[in-house]
């Protein structure tokens, strides 16, 4: 037993001796200094803090002015929105009124056309009767009576079925010969007769068409 203990003690002594030599060697080696972190200053990024009461009052005044300016702009924006909405409502109402007026005008025009057709239908027999009467009269007497009528009425009478082309030409020629001062009126009646004949021919209702 004793030899074993002596052997273990000798081994431990050897180990401690080796470790001691290693520590002595390491103590003689100069290791580089541990790098220190660079100091970072936040002075530039930190906002300036008011240090006096006057500074605080100045900043508060600026903030209050800024707030008032924003409030004014907001009020103006709201006012513009309200005005825009009001104008849009006015435009909408005007469009509705305009549409109603258009509808009313279309209805009035339709009624007028219907009445005009009825008037023409009721007028046609009377015009035919007058044309037949003028045709039986002496041309001079017929011209004297027609001169007292509006040119439009004369055109209607001459364009009836009772008045053929020969009768029209005879009356108008005699009219100019008897009353040279009426040349412009007769020319207007002649043009109206030509236009009326073309219109009646185009719709197939012309009785004086050749």
Residue pLDDT, tens place only, 160-177: 888 888 888 899 999 999
What residue spans of 137-182 are helical by DSSP H? 139-147, 151-158, 165-178
Q: Please check whether residue 174 is in contact with residue 143, taking contact to mean a CB–CB distance below 8 angstroms.
A: yes
Q: How far apart are CA 210 and CA 201, in angstroms?
A: 9
Q: Please check whether residue 175 is in contact with residue 182, taking contact to mean a CB–CB distance below 8 angstroms.
A: yes
Residue pLDDT, tens place only, 104-149: 888 988 888 888 788 777 778 888 888 888 888 898 898 999 899 8
Please name which of 119, 191, 120, 182 lies closest in space to residue 155, comparing C-alpha atoms.
Answer: 191
Q: Please check whether residue 152 is in contact with residue 192, taking contact to mean a CB–CB distance below 8 angstroms.
A: yes
Instruction: Report pLDDT for 77.
Output: 85
Instruction: Report pLDDT for 135.
Output: 86
Which residues make Cβ contacts (< 8 Å) with residue 161, sequence separation at least 6?
Answer: 128, 131, 207, 208
Per-residue tokens: 146: 């027609």
Instruction: Report pLDDT for 29.
Output: 45
Instruction: Report pLDDT for 188.
Output: 92
Q: Please check whether residue 170 is in contact with residue 139, taking contact to mean a CB–CB distance below 8 angstroms.
A: yes
Mean pLDDT of 178-199: 87
Instruction: Report pLDDT for 200.
Output: 57
pTM for this one? Answer: 0.42
Q: Please check whether residue 127 is in contact with residue 157, taking contact to mean a CB–CB distance below 8 angstroms.
A: yes
Given a cut of 90, is residue 179 above it in pLDDT?
yes
Per-residue tokens: 13: 């002594």
Given a cut of 60, is residue 180 above it in pLDDT?
yes
Residue pLDDT, tens place only, 15-41: 555 545 544 554 554 444 444 444 444
Tally of residues, the chain: 210
Segment among 50-59, 148-157, 165-174, 183-192 with least mean pLDDT: 50-59
For 163, other C-beta atoms within 10 Å of its C-beta total: 21
Instruction: Report pLDDT for 36.
Output: 44
Instruction: Report pLDDT for 25.
Output: 53
Which residues make Cβ contacts (< 8 Å) with residue 201, sequence separation at least 6?
Answer: 209
Q: How far apart are CA 122 and CA 160, in angstroms?
A: 14
Would you call 29 helix, strand, or coil by DSSP? Answer: coil
Residue pLDDT, tens place only, 59-80: 777 777 888 888 888 888 888 8
Q: How far apart are CA 174 and CA 157, in angstroms?
A: 17
Which residues make Cβ contacts (< 8 Å) with residue 155, sequence separation at least 6?
Answer: 189, 192, 193, 196
């Amino acid at each position: 037993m004793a030899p074993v203990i002596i052997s273990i003690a000798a081994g431990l002594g050897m180990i401690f001796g080796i470790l001691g030599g290693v520590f002595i060697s390491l103590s003689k080696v100069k290791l580089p200094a541990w790098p220190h972190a660079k100091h970072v200053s936040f002075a530039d990024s930190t906002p300036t803090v008011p240090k006096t009461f006057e500074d605080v009052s100045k900043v508060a005044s600026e903030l209050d002015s800024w707030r008032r300016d924003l409030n004014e702009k907001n009020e103006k924006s709201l006012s513009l929105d309200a005005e825009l909405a009001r104008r849009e409502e006015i435009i909408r109402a005007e469009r509705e009124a305009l549409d109603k007026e258009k509808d009313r005008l279309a209805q009035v025009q339709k009624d007028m056309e219907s009445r005009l057709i009825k008037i023409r239908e009721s007028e046609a027999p009377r015009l035919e009767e007058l044309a037949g009467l003028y045709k039986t009269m002496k041309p001079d007497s017929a011209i004297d009576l027609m001169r007292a009528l509006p040119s439009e009425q004369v055109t209607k009478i001459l364009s009836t079925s009772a008045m053929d082309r020969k009768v029209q030409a005879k009356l108008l020629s005699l009219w100019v010969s008897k009353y040279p001062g009426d040349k412009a009126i007769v020319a207007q009646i002649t043009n109206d007769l030509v236009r009326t004949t073309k219109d009646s021919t185009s719709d197939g209702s012309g009785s004086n068409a050749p």
